[in-house]
Structure 1
Amino acid sequence: MYEPFLIRAALAGVGLALAAGPLGCFVVWRRMAFFGDATAHAAILGVALALGFSVSIYAGTLGVALLMALTVSALAGRGWAIDTTLGVLAHSSLAVGLVAISFVSGVRVDLEAYLFGDILAVSWNDVWLIWGGAGLVLAGLAWRWPGLLTATLSEDLAQASGVNPARERLVLTLALAVVVAVAIKVVGALLIAAMLIIPAAAARGFARTPERMAVFASLIGMVAVLAGLWASLRFDTPAGPSVVCAAAVVFALSAGFGGMRQKG
């Protein structure tokens, strides 16, 4: 019989993987990896504000992640050098967040849990919030799927088809902020981008259509969560990084499979 904490951890990780898979595909297709990093790093500042004002960690991280995502989108739309802008914002927000946490008095903060996650410590309330956020993200992506694909393929084609690229970019921005907010306790701020990118990149070696890639990315994420939890318990390793390591192993296998298929 499995322990309740392990069941909660598995459910939380699977819920995150469901949403991170399809969203991660758009991150890979649009080459938004650094964008995800910047939003995730900003989550630490959200944690500091949440602790300072005694509000929910999820509310704080969602607010700051959303603000960061909207800021980056606005700057990109004005022609700023996006890679430089993302680098400045990502590292600055992380540093400001870590400094701000040190000024929060009367609260004992486990920084490692927020940086690398503590999936084994999630509560049932966390599980419900994660599944609620995942459901919201999946519903939004399913609703806008054709428009998102068209805008990802070509903004000119999207405009010719009556699709507003800015609106589709906003949908992705909102979805990314929600995933960052719910993932903070599972894999932590430093590993959220990895859970978005690695399963999607691994799925690319198995899928021939965007829809299949999205499904495979979610499945790979789920496998990584379960394998990472098993490895964490078996070898007494940190759970969050173990999950990411499991995803990296699947990616390596996918890359090898893709190479063999090309030779064949």
Structure 2
Amino acid sequence: MVTVTILPTVATMGIEILILPAMAGLGLALAAGPLGSFVVWRRMAYFSDATAHAAVLGVALALALHINVLIGVVVVALVMALLLTRLSRGHAGDDTNLGVMAHSALALGLVAIAFVPGARGDMTGFLFGEILAVGARELMVIWGGAMLIVAIVLWQWHALLLATVSEELATSEGLNPQRLRLVLTLVLALVVAVGLKSVGALLIGAMLVIPAATARAFARSPEQMAFGASVVGAVSVLAGLLVSLYVDTPAGPSIVVAAAGMFALSRALKPA
């Protein structure tokens, strides 16, 4: 039986636990900023949601096979992303297909985990994150994954940017757009695994899209937008944790609310 419990808040646990959650959130913001920019440029919001929702199925698989949850999440998220890439290629109505896959993956994961022997059934942490429960080991995994993601994006930055502008132009320059899509797919699966502990499967898509959309209002170059997205994500993490401290609200959702507030502010202050 799947149950939902009240999410922990900073106010109920004490301010001394803010350091590790803040560092974990900053690691996620660092990785999600550049990748989120490509998600926005390529209009892959549904794609990222479907991949993130599949992470719940990865959790069920990991628990059933008694393997590390991170491995299960990466494998299933990557398989889902590859499947979505194949299904969406050359079809009309991609948003419909991606929407169906996103919600179906989440529902299938919730159903599957209910049949895992010995599973506790409390899905709150997997759905909304447990950033307040991040320990030193999880922090190392988050930052290790974040640095790997940033390294891959920087390594392929020019090629990914060129393929985003025009796949025909990328091909004329000797690049392989299909391979570059595979790179984005792999990195997206990694960021889902990294963000699952912080904000959960339901909110990781928001941390990819909202900071990047906020930074786009003021960026004058792709590099500025990618950097600005990481900054907006970092500020959202710190602001969300402070809101959780003083207003006694769930930390993960508070981070996303802070990001949404910055997006609304950017729309109001957007230069003509």
Q: What range is the shorter-chain TM-score in?
A: over 0.9
Matched, 1:47 2:62: no
Alignment check: 8 A CA contact 2:60 2:112 kept:
yes
Matched, 1:251 2:263: yes
Alignment check: 8 A CA contact 2:237 2:255 kept:
yes
Residue 152 of structure 2 corresponds to which residue in structure 1?
140
Question: What do the CA deviations read for 1:38-85 (whole angstroms, capped 9, x no partner)?
Answer: 000100100111111111111111110000001111222354642222
Q: Distance in 2 between matches of 1:147 and 1:47?
A: 33
Mean Cα deviation higher: 140-149 or 82-91:
82-91
Question: What do the CA deviations read for 1:181-203 (whole angstroms, capped 9, x no partner)?
Answer: 11111001110100000000000
Q: Distance in 1 between matches of 2:252 and 2:267?
A: 23
Q: Distance in 2 between matches of 1:166 and 1:139?
A: 20
Matched, 1:74 2:86: yes
Matched, 1:108 2:116: no
Q: Distance in 1 between matches of 2:58 and 2:119?
A: 15
Question: How far is 1:214 from its partner?
Answer: 0.4
Q: Distance in 2 between matches of 1:174 and 1:60?
A: 14
Q: Distance in 2 between matches of 1:88 and 1:221?
A: 28
Corresponding residue to 2:132 among 120, 127, 150? 120
So what's the TM-score if we normalise by structure 2? 0.92
Residue 25 of structure 2 corresponds to which residue in structure 1?
13
Question: How far is 1:2 from its partner?
Answer: 5.6
Residue 214 of structure 1 corresponds to which residue in structure 2?
226
RMSD after superposition: 1.3
Matched, 1:65 2:77: yes
Residue 196 of structure 2 corresponds to which residue in structure 1?
184
Q: Distance in 2 between matches of 1:21 and 1:182?
A: 13
Q: Tell me the SS of whatever aligns to 2:66.
A: coil
So what's the TM-score if we normalise by structure 1? 0.95
Question: How far is 1:107 from its partner?
Answer: 2.6
Matched, 1:163 2:194: no
Q: Distance in 1 between matches of 2:171 and 2:86?
A: 19
Q: Distance in 1 between matches of 2:97 and 2:139?
A: 34
Question: How far is 1:110 from its partner?
Answer: 2.2
Q: Which runs of 5+ in 1 are unaligned?
A: none
Question: What do the CA deviations read for 1:238-259 (whole angstroms, capped 9, x no partner)?
Answer: 110000000011111111111x
